[in-house]
């Protein structure tokens, strides 16, 4: 799990600490083996996978690939650990690497590639990625111009939560442009409504939702090149382009007319921020796809006509097509045996992704997955944008920055920006000064 994703998800459901599971094969006349005809001669072979994914998702994955294992005879042994990011490099350096690993951060992939132990993606995987994913997604599995790892699961952060019932009662229409959204906020304010909810409290991780807001605008305003340069600090926080995007965030989420008590955002937890949406106590909240689970805890219905649902956060610059901020895992290989290549290829296919999304609560940016395969309407909405071949995808920036910044000074300074009214100039100066020298 990436840092912020883990913090968010642990607020929704308890996670097992470690799970080690084995998929077994069984003959079944009901299984259609035609989709797996390319994977022959694998019976009795085993492939190991190591991941940060834990239960109950591990069991669901076994169900998703059961037809593959039944038809091919390959055994997939998957092990999940909440110490994945610490353990995987140790295992790789100790010549005890798994065959495959689901890596949740491109930065970790790059470090592992530097060991020389990660295998280049085989042609079959390259073909799938070129066919089913946008160039932005492929770039995050690429290190120093060479492609290693296909995208696996995905998550969507570029959503705005609202209440369809409250919008209908008030005669509001879901906005599709940034101007429409700000005009709508003005209408809400004129009625005495809180247009945008906000909360960045998260215990020791307080501040992370504010980093998401800035990430959304940097990508929307300036596109991938500036966004990725910001991640590696070739574009500094004090760069006029980053400052202008932070000013736009201030005009949005620090606008008293729209949010009410600005400083209160720093002391409100992200979990509580949008709980007033079903009752109209606040009207909109920019937050990731997982947030529906939090709203639903109170018994609210999550649907396009229910107590709560989400819409896509509009773009700000027509030159940046379908900007999406999110995250996901990437499948890297440490072995090139035929059975490993077979599993790696299958996991990058639309066949696997479709099988998995049909089991609910999972999103793929694979454009070969029919949107009709999604049972969860929020997942379906998210996939509409994540899998768009024209999308400009930005992996969560603070998760890619050095931990001292992305999970340190940035959280601290953004909290001071909201909670103390610290100036943007002072905030960016402090973050730039905190960047590791090497």
Q: DSSP for 295-307, please give it.
A: HHTTT--BSTTSS
- Condensed to tens digits (0 to 9), the pLDDT of residues 170-227 reads 999 999 999 999 999 999 999 999 999 999 999 999 999 999 999 999 999 999 999 9
What pLDDT does residue 174 have? 98
User: Do residue 123 and residue 150 come from a single domain?
Assistant: yes
CB count within 10 Å of CB 225 equals 10
pTM over 0.85: yes
User: Do residue 179 and residue 230 come from a single domain?
Assistant: yes
> 200 with 267: CB under 8 angstroms?
no
The dihedrals phi and psi of 206, each to the nearest 5 degrees, come to: -55, 135
Q: What is the CA radius of gyration of the chain?
A: 22
How far apart are the C-alpha atoms of 87 and 93, rounded to whole Å? 10
Cα–Cα separations (whole angstroms), residue 155 to 50, 55, 326, 353, 386: 20, 18, 5, 14, 8
User: Do residue 204 and residue 319 come from a single domain?
Assistant: yes
Q: Which residues of the chain have pLDDT under 70?
A: 1-29
What pLDDT does residue 41 have? 84
- Condensed to tens digits (0 to 9), the pLDDT of residues 119-174 reads 999 999 999 999 999 999 999 999 999 999 999 999 999 999 999 999 999 999 99
User: Do residue 228 and residue 107 come from a single domain?
Assistant: no
How far apart are the C-alpha atoms of 309 and 326, rounded to whole Å? 18
At a CB cut-off of 8 Å and minimum separation 6, what does 56 contact? Answer: none
Distance, CA of 229 to chain centre:
19
Cα–Cα separations (whole angstroms), residue 428 to 148, 180, 231, 245, 401: 34, 30, 14, 12, 15
> 433 with 233: CB under 8 angstroms?
no
Residue 208 burial (C-beta neighbours within 10 Å; 0-12, 13-18, 19+): buried
User: Do residue 90 and residue 197 come from a single domain?
Assistant: no
Using alpha carbons, select from 200, 201, 196 the residue that is nearest to residue 259.
196
What pLDDT does residue 26 have? 38
User: Do residue 29 and residue 171 come from a single domain?
Assistant: no
CB count within 10 Å of CB 380 equals 16
User: Do residue 291 and residue 373 come from a single domain?
Assistant: no
In degrees, rounded to 5, the angle at the alpha carbon of residue 67 between the alpha carbons of residues 65 and 73 is 95
> 329 with 152: CB under 8 angstroms?
yes
User: Do residue 22 and residue 169 come from a single domain?
Assistant: no
> 199 with 220: CB under 8 angstroms?
no
Using alpha carbons, select from 317, 315, 334 the residue that is nearest to residue 325.
315
What pLDDT does residue 330 have? 97
What pLDDT does residue 11 have? 40
Number of domain units in the chain: 2
For residue 192, the enclosing domain spans 159-323+396-434
Q: Cis bond leading into 2, ω under 30°?
A: no
In degrees, rounded to 5, the angle at the alpha carbon of residue 379 between the alpha carbons of residues 377 and 382 is 110
Q: Tell me which residue has tokens 């066949």.
A: 351
User: Do residue 115 and residue 144 come from a single domain?
Assistant: yes
What pLDDT does residue 438 have? 73
What pLDDT does residue 19 have? 37
User: Do residue 314 and residue 333 come from a single domain?
Assistant: no
Q: What is the mean pLDDT of the chain?
A: 93
> Residues 15-18: contacts with CB within 8 Å, 24+ apart?
15/54, 15/55, 15/82, 16/54, 16/55, 16/80, 17/54, 17/81, 17/82, 18/54, 18/79, 18/80, 18/81, 18/82, 18/83
Q: Looking at residue 330, which CATH number applies to its domain?
A: 3.40.190.10
User: Do residue 384 and residue 411 come from a single domain?
Assistant: no
Using alpha carbons, select from 86, 16, 80, 85 the residue that is nearest to residue 48.
80
Using alpha carbons, select from 437, 365, 428, 427 the residue that is nearest to residue 402.
437
What pLDDT does residue 279 have? 97
User: Do residue 311 and residue 262 come from a single domain?
Assistant: yes
Using alpha carbons, select from 263, 224, 265, 220 the residue that is nearest to residue 245.
220
Using alpha carbons, select from 114, 26, 125 the residue that is nearest to residue 330.
125
């Amino acid at each position: 799990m990436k840092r912020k994703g883990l913090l968010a998800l642990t607020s929704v459901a308890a996670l097992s600490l470690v799970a080690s599971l084995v998929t077994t094969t069984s003959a079944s006349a009901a299984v259609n083996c035609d989709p797996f005809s390319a994977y022959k001669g694998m019976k009795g072979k085993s492939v190991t996978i190591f991941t940060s994914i834990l239960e109950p998702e591990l069991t669901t994955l076994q169900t998703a690939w059961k037809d593959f294992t039944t038809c091919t005879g390959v055994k997939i042994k998957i092990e999940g650990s909440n110490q994945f990011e610490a353990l995987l490099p140790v295992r790789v350096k100790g010549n005890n690497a798994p065959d495959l690993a689901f890596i949740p951060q491109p930065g970790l992939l790059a470090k592992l590639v530097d060991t020389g132990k990660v295998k280049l993606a085989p042609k079959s995987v390259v073909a799938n990625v070129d066919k089913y994913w946008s160039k932005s997604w492929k770039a995050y599995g690429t290190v120093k111009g060479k492609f290693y790892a296909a995208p696996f699961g995905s998550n969507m952060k570029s959503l705005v939560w609202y209440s369809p019932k409250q919008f209908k009662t008030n005669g509001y229409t879901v906005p599709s442009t940034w101007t429409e959204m700000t005009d709508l906020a003005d209408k809400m304010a004129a009625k005495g409504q809180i247009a945008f909810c906000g909360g960045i409290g998260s215990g020791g991780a307080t501040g992370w939702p504010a980093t998401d807001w800035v990430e959304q605008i940097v990508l929307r305003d300036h596109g991938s090149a500036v966004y990725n340069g910001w991640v590696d600090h070739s574009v500094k926080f004090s760069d006029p382009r980053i400052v202008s995007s932070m000013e736009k965030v201030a005009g949005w989420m620090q606008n008293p007319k729209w949010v009410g008590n600005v400083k209160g955002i720093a002391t409100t937890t992200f979990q509580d921020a949008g709980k007033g949406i079903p009752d109209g106590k606040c009207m909109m909240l920019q937050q990731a796809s997982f947030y529906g689970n939090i709203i639903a805890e109170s018994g609210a219905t999550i649907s396009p006509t229910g107590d709560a649902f989400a819409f896509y956060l509009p773009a700000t610059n027509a030159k940046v097509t379908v900007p999406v901020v999110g995250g996901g895992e990437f499948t890297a290989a440490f072995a090139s045996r035929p059975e490993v290549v077979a599993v790696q290829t299958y996991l990058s296919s639309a066949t696997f992704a479709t099988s998995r999304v049909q089991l609910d609560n999972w999103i793929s940016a694979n454009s070969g997955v029919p949107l009709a395969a999604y049972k969860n309407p929020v997942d379906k909405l998210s996939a509409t944008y994540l899998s768009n071949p024209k999308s400009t995808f930005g992996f969560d920036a603070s998760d890619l920055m050095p931990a001292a910044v992305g999970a340190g000074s940035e959280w601290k300074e953004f909290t001071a920006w909201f909670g103390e009214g610290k100036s943007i100039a002072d905030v960016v100066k402090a973050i730039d000064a905190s960047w590791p020298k090497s």
